[in-house]
Amino acid sequence: MFKKVLVANRGEIAVRVLRACRELGLETIALWSEVDRNALHVRYADEAYCIGPAPAKESYLRIDRIIDVAIRAKADAIHPGYGFLAENEQFARACAEAGVTFIGPPEQVILAMGNKIEARGAVAKQGVPVVPGTYEPLRDDEILSAANQVGFPLFIKAAAGGGGKGIRRVQAPEELAGAIARARSEAESAFGDGTVYVEKIISPARHIEFQILADTRGNVVHLGERECSIQRRHQKLVEESPSVALDNDLREKMGKAAIKSAKAAHYVNAGTIEFLLDKDRNFYFLEMNTRLQVEHPVTELVTGVDIVKEQIRIASGRPLSYRQKDIHQRGWAMECRVTAEDPYNGFLPSTGKIISLYEPTGPGVRLESGVYEGFEVSLYYDPLIAKLCVWGADRANAIMRMKRALSEYKVLGIATSIPFHQKLLESTSFIGGHFDTAFLDERFTMEQGGSEDNEKVAAIVAALLTHDRRQHALSIPPPTGGTARGGWKRFGSWEGLGR
């Protein structure tokens, strides 16, 4: 096992990784830009080093400065978190050349699976269904011919894409030229690579992903699925595990396809296989993320597997701690991404000092946060400030617990996405599990929510509460001493109290 780990990231994910390291008894190193001098991750680590000014390209994206700190601080390994350099093959190579272990997949795997065109081809060769589209880089004139074969509507997508960038929807041929130019420009700016490809739009569709763990000895397991269909402009806002759309048979088929996809890439460490599921329950490989995901806590909550600790163990050369038969999904978990954005004003970023903060806690609540009272939220980085996660015995309980936790969460000084999450959880479509990736963009507003009838909301919530009460009553153990009463009598007494 390593002795000292450098975390090449910031915010809540840096704190999450630092905590895992501390539980493993490892010394930790944090990095900070000038604007992050007083950040929570800096306070938490054993050591901390400044790597430059506030802009990420002058600090958190400076490979040379990060490697220099790792060498000076005598780090054994570097964990990249997600975002920034997490899927950068040059960073993985620089770590190897410096004699520092990169906690993630090898450089060649990042390069192959980070390019969505190559990933589609590699997975298709293994017999895994892939979203219809092109499998090689094309010139602008070649894209028009390919688009007519794929059929409209379609996406023009960046081969090196991620985070919803470099994607343009095309409804008809006359829109194609402009979409290609915009997608190429955005991809070049975001990823330094303007290569794009064509992909058929599957609509309606659900976004289902499978968490993968693979060690250096060829062992691969999946940790079940996450439902990630609640998206705004291709950005995920709410995730849950398991998914209401899958039964055990479909879950097994998709899990096997996910493992096939990982083995096709000779994958090592933690990764995610993303699928689209159409209305007829056909699934298609979409892409692979060669890093830890933002939404990994929901998988941890239902499986009991600490994914970050497994990443560190795998990187140190140890075999997986689990076999597939050891993995079981228990209960239901849900995550709300809390961002410094104003949902009543088009989700515009909100900056400033957090003057008052009350964070939710209690049974089944997990908060991954990178801020504190008095923290200054800037415009330089991603607006994600925290991830609010809950666990419940079933989806009904998870929803009710999330509603409770959101009602307790108070952030003063900046606008946050909390009101959006509260509105979403009142939606009949969300409560009933009837949504797809287009739900927020096409059928949800902050003014009306996703509900057509408030009475329906009340009826569904009442049904969930009744189910919750009934399950609770049936699980109450008989009192010690005296005559034990049956579950139904206890339930009747409980109901009679008006609870």
> Which amino acids are annotated catalytic?
291
* Structure-block tokens of residue 137: 């880089």
Evaluate whether 272 touches 210 at the Cβ level (below 8 Å): yes
User: What token pair was written down for 394?
Assistant: 């079933």
Catalogue the long-range contacts made by 459-467 (C-beta closer than 8 Å, 24 or more residues apart): 460/428, 460/431, 460/432, 461/431, 464/396, 464/399, 464/400, 464/431, 465/400, 467/396
**What single string gives the DSSP state of each residue in 68-110?**
HHHHHTT-SEEE--SSTTTT-HHHHHHHHHTT-EESSS-HHHH
| Tokens found for residue 455 | 């009475």
Task: Return d(Cα 31, Cα 460) in angstroms, integer.
Answer: 47
Q: How far apart are CA 267 and CA 256, in angstroms?
A: 15
3-class SS string, 425-481? CCCHHHHCCCCCCCHHHHHCECCCECCCCHHHHHHHHHHHHHHHHHHHHHHCCCCCC
Q: Please tell me whether the peptide bond between 479 and the residue prior to it is cis, using omega within 30 degrees of 0.
A: no
Do 221 and 323 touch, CB atoms closer than 8 A?
Answer: yes
How buried is 355 (Cβ within 10 angstroms: 0-12 exposed, 13-18 middle, 19+ buried)?
A: exposed
Identify the H or E element spanning 397.
helix 395-408
Q: Which residues contact 24 (CB under 8 A, 6 or more apart)?
A: 1, 309, 312
Q: What own/partner pairs with CB < 8 Å and gap ≥ 24 does 417-423 have?
A: 417/237, 417/336, 417/337, 417/338, 417/339, 417/341, 417/343, 417/347, 418/338, 419/343, 419/344, 419/446, 420/237, 420/343, 420/446, 421/237, 421/238, 421/336, 421/338, 421/388, 423/343, 423/449
| The total number of residues written for the chain in this structure | 499
User: Which ranges constitute the DSSP H helices of 292-394?
Assistant: 296-303, 307-315
Q: CA 71 to CA 79: how far, in whole Å?
A: 14
User: What is the C-alpha to C-alpha distance for residues 30 and 208, in angstroms, rounded to an integer?
Assistant: 33
Residues 6+ apart with CB under 8 A from 489: none
d(CA 496, CA 473): 12
